[in-house]
Amino acid sequence: MALAVAGLAYAYLTHPTTLIVAVAPNGGSEPALMRAYADALTKGKASIRLRLVPFGGVRESAEALRDGKVDLAVVRPDVSMPRNGLTLAVLREQATFVVAPRQASIDGFPALAGKRLGILAPRKADHALVRGLMARHGLDLRDDIPDGGASAKAVTLVPVEEADLSTYLAAGRIDAVILLTTPTSAAAQRIVGLVRDADTNGEAALFGISDIPATLARMPRLQAVTVPAGLFDGDPRLPAEDLSTVGSSYRLMARSTLSRSVAAEVTQHLFEMRALLSEATHAAEDVSHPAYETTVGATSARLPIHPGAIDYYEREQESFIERYESWIYLVAIFGGGLGSVVAWLRQRVGRIRRERIEVATLRLLELRSNARGEIDRAKLEAIAGETDDLAASIARHSMRRATEPRTLAAATFAIDATRSTITRRLGGHPNGGVAVVGEEPDGERKR
């Protein structure tokens, strides 16, 4: 009976957990990434499974998470930030920067006044972001091209397809292009190359958002992004030095009530499977962890990180027994005989832990025996190094897991004895060499 109860409890606790995921935007790279991730979890028989629910846009997916209809969601915080959403991973970072032919003499946002600015992104959210950034620089963004030309403070936003970009630049229909994209993408390389080609000398100017701290204070759902120097090919490469700007991000978020252990597993599998997922979609290459300095800072940031994800990032995930320890004890209390099974499991785990230290202790005693008969200084120093490594291993194991005092005391005595023997062998000769039985200090043997 006890074994049957234990078997049922184990089957329940190890049954795969299925999470509902809201994926968006329609036609974006994130849904393809999440489909590949869900398939990989199923094929790998992982303890986590995903059921995807598609949405047309990230606003709708964020609302589904906010309303408790899903467990996870693809969210773009600057569009809609669910109050119960916590970040597991950054799926894609978008940097915002402007590129213009050098001959246009546009080298910063103030120089855009009265100009026509091309934009390739068709999403309304991107237009709203550009409008907010223009306002930060004292510019008025317009969506139409007035007959009399733009005013001194107006910037006319002109939607353009990538295929028409060269034509628009050559005809003067646009003066520069603003990009909201992943800087490392092939599309970004192509667009910067097209702008270069529109210049008589094949040169371009590239600049980002100025006064980043103030911009983030006013637009807290954005984040700082760095475009590495020389990222874009050409002669010379652009940018000339690291370019700091701001941008948006697509994030995989979980509801705040999702357990830490489940959130940690979702995060762990996503990063461990990146190489596999990249075979299905290039979007896997853009997955990264959210930047943070301290655990407190991570959980209290404007875009907070789920504690379970932090457990993975800091390698503090719970083991199976640690995760379900309370449930195991409850089953033992109400299941009667199950308590004996749990006790046996704990003894078995404890025995394995004890055996690890015992193996290290036996090795230390063996090293001590070797040192007593060794006369080569280099070999003695090697023995000393291995002794230090074993001592450090025992110390780390004792800090992480409870260790029996008797076992730990034996290990301590073995460390001290081994080090004492090595010290005597290294220090027995007046010149720092090794003392050899039957040898005089001057090196001549007794007759």
Helix (H) or strand (E) run with residue 245 in it:
strand 243-247
Cis ω for the linkage preceding 239 (within 30 of 0): yes
Going from N- to C-terminal start, the domains of the chain cover 15-92+250-313, 95-247, 337-427
In angstroms, rounded to a whole number, what is the distance separating the alpha carbons of residues 419 and 371?
9
- E strands, 25-174, in order: 48-54, 72-75, 85-93, 95-101, 116-119, 140-142, 154-159
In angstroms, rounded to a whole number, what is the distance separating the alpha carbons of residues 324 and 9?
11
Judge contact between 89 and 249, C-beta under 8 A: no
All residues at 6 or more sequence positions from 384 whose CB lies less than 8 Å from its CB, including other chains: 419, 422, 426
Cis ω for the linkage preceding 236 (within 30 of 0): yes
Judge contact between 9 and 338, C-beta under 8 A: yes
What is the CA angle 194-198-202, rounded to 5? 90
Cα 358 to its chain centre, rounded Å, is 37
* Residue 20, phi then psi, degrees to nearest 5: -90, 130
DSSP 108: S
Cα 106 to its chain centre, rounded Å, is 36
Q: Which amino acid is at 323?
A: R
95-247 domain in CATH 2.60.40.1930? no
In angstroms, rounded to a whole number, what is the distance separating the alpha carbons of residues 147 and 94?
34
Task: Pull the structure tokens for residue 152.
Answer: 């001194």
Question: What's residue 435's pLDDT?
Answer: 47
Cis ω for the linkage preceding 77 (within 30 of 0): no
How is domain 15-92+250-313 classified at the architecture level of CATH?
Answer: 3-Layer(aba) Sandwich (3.40)
| DSSP-assigned letters across all residues of 196-236 | HHTSTTS-EEEE--S-HHHHHHHSTTSEEEEE-TT-B-SSS
**Mean pLDDT by 10-residue block, N- to C-terminus, for the chain (447 residues)?**
53 76 92 97 95 95 97 96 96 96 94 93 83 90 64 87 95 95 93 95 93 92 94 91 95 96 95 95 94 82 92 71 54 56 55 68 85 85 88 78 75 87 74 45 42
Instruction: Produce one character per residue of 234-248: b if its CB has 16 or more CB atoms within 10 Å, e if not.
Output: eeeebbeeebebbbb
Q: How many CB atoms lie within 10 A of CB 349?
A: 13
Q: Counting beta carbons within 10 angstroms of the beta carbon of residue 271, is it exposed (0 to 12), middle (13 to 18) or buried (19 or more)?
A: middle
Task: Pull the structure tokens for residue 87.
Answer: 């970040």
Asked whether this chain's domains 15-92+250-313 and 95-247 adopt the same fold, the reply is yes
